[in-house]
A and B are shown apart, each in its own frame.
Chain A
Amino acid sequence: MSARHYQPPRFSLRFLHVWRRNALVWRKLAIPSMLGNLADPMIYMLGLGFGLGAMLPEVGGTSYIGFLAAGIVCSSTMMSASFEAMYSGFSRMHVQKTWDAIMNAPVTLDDVLLGEAVWAASKSFLSGMAVLLVATVLGLTQSWLALWMLPVIFLTGIAFSGMGLVMTALSPSYDFFMYYFTLVITPMMLACGVFFPLDQLPPLLQIVAQALPLTHAVSIARPLMNGALPDGIITHLLVLAAYAVVSFHVALILTRRRLLN
């Protein structure tokens, strides 16, 4: 074990080359990839929104589908960032040894990991954007304030990329990611206000939910879509930023220990 692995990150602009590499691969498969990314959240938003929504009165002052849209934008961002950082990241790190090849050039692991995190966030940004666009076309966005969701989606993407990269650094195989989805991602989908308001949860779970990043993403996104300024926006942003910074740093240390020994 080396003290070097715990040093703060040292980045260079070469992380952009890693990002560009991934973007070039993505470009070849852009259309199927976008459609695939969009199908799942659309099914949830339209299926639950219209189906369940028909039985419900207003939720939080809007129609149920209007309530749901902001949650689906955030959860779709979360899913997309997590998948990219874990399954695709693991392929590049462990299966294809792409990172090894890159690190033989004058690019360090710090740059590789930053490139991967920003890439996963960029891809998840597109997913979140696509849902937002569809919601807007359906008339579910109430004001131009919704444009402020763009940086929020990106920040959410970065936070979940960092968390996904932690799992990638620890993972012996693809199977390992199922634990994370079952134990972390799915509970967050249900406990963070995506499908129903937080105050429907038992009090103890409400406190737990306040510690989870998706709660804070949804807490910013929903008012913005409905044309209001979110309460406590600074706190929400800080929590997301903290998740991003801490998880990235942990991922970096773990990956250094895994690859640079």
Chain B
Amino acid sequence: MQYLRVRQLRKSYGGQEVVAGIDFDLKPGECFGLLGPNGAGKTTTLRLCLGLTEPDSGDITIFGLPVPGQAREARLKIGVVPQTDNLDPDFTVRENLLVYGRYFDLSDAAIRNRIPELLEFAGLSARADVRIQTLSGGMKRRLTLARALINDPDLIFLDEPSTGLDPQARHLIWERLRQLMNQGKTIFLTTHFMDEAERLCHRLAIMDRGRMITSGAPRELIAQHIEPQVVEVFGDGAAAWADAFGRAAAERCEITGETVFCYTHDADSMVHHLDSQAGLRYLHRPANLEDVFLKLTGRELRD
């Protein structure tokens, strides 16, 4: 059985289609990432899947239960980490977990039994009885993740889990998510961080303007959509260099501002040539998901 099955899902607001007919599945045990620029429809998709918004058309089932019809039942076995922290500011760390567990009809005794384990997972054992305001952004996010686990969910939804966190805090979140995958949890996350998607997701889909433009494993997408090597050239003369040499040497060149991105299968000749160019700096690297993303969704700003 698919944990999550979405077919021909559509939702519009004020005549604008925010989700424009998407299909996808989530298999038990996998981590699936929904990537897209701001306003692509990721959060709306997530809200639709949780049954918090009614679709204009299309079918959603979670654990075989129809959503939104039986969304309440489905949510019994789901954990949610929302984009903005909505921890309860009136409570301590421990009380946040206790009160949240009650929403799942868990007994206080059962919740209290579970709290030490969750605090350990979140690295907050020493802070069990402090108020939320004293926690750092990373701690709050870890607590939100721990809160989402209070009901021992089979499926966890995360909406941009590492937005706004510093690198240390992000890596710790990723580490915890990997731990959850090792425990067999199924994860559905939205993000606009490519490195996050590349590191965590078994499979991902790129969404833009309400549509899914492509989907597959991160490596597959890179192999399928983009040349394997990238040379980024910076400096005043970069555009001139591209016209004189780069465009001929690379399969594809893109210029944004003072940076030239050259995509190629063999970067040797370009790199040799660039070494002899005073005043130009360059970076030679393997292609990554961000290159795929920018190729498919364009480079212009979205908000």
Pick the contact of B82: A101, A106, A261 (CB < 8 A). Answer: A101
**A17-B102, A20-B102, A105-B103 known; A260-B86 Cβ under 8 A:** no
Name B's interface SS.
loop
Closest chain B residue, CB of each to CB of A95: B89
**A24-B91, A97-B84 known; A4-B75 Cβ under 8 A:** no
Which residues from A are CB-within-8-Å of B151?
105
Which residues from A are CB-within-8-Å of B245?
none
Which residues from B are CB-within-8-Å of A102?
103
Pick the contact of A104: B53, B54, B82, B87 (CB < 8 A). Answer: B82
CB distance from A27 to the nearest CB of B (A): 10
**A108 close to chain B: CB less than 8 A:** yes
CB distance from B150 to the nearest CB of A (A): 9
**A25 close to chain B: CB less than 8 A:** yes
**A107 close to chain B: CB less than 8 A:** yes
CB distance from B142 to the nearest CB of A (A): 16
Contact A105 B95 (CB under 8 A): no
Give A24 to B84 CA distance when docked, in angstroms: 24
- Considering only residues 12-32 of chain A, those with a C-beta below 8 Å from chain B are 12, 14, 17, 20-21, 24-25, 28
Which residues from A are CB-within-8-Å of B99?
17, 20-21, 24
**A98 close to chain B: CB less than 8 A:** yes
Contact B75 A105 (CB under 8 A): yes
Contact B13 A261 (CB under 8 A): yes
- Considering only residues 83-122 of chain B, those with a C-beta below 8 Å from chain A are 84, 86-91, 95, 99-100, 102-105
Which residues from B are CB-within-8-Å of A4?
54, 68
Supply 11 further A-B pairs (C-beta < 8 A) apart from A98-B86, A100-B86, A105-B103. A14-B103, A20-B99, A25-B88, A96-B88, A96-B89, A101-B86, A104-B50, A104-B82, A105-B75, A105-B104, A260-B52
CB within 8 Å of A: which residues of B? 13, 50, 52-54, 68, 72-73, 75-76, 78, 80, 82, 84, 86-91, 95, 99-100, 102-105, 151
3 closest A-B pairs by beta carbon, nearest first, are A105-B103, A97-B86, A104-B80
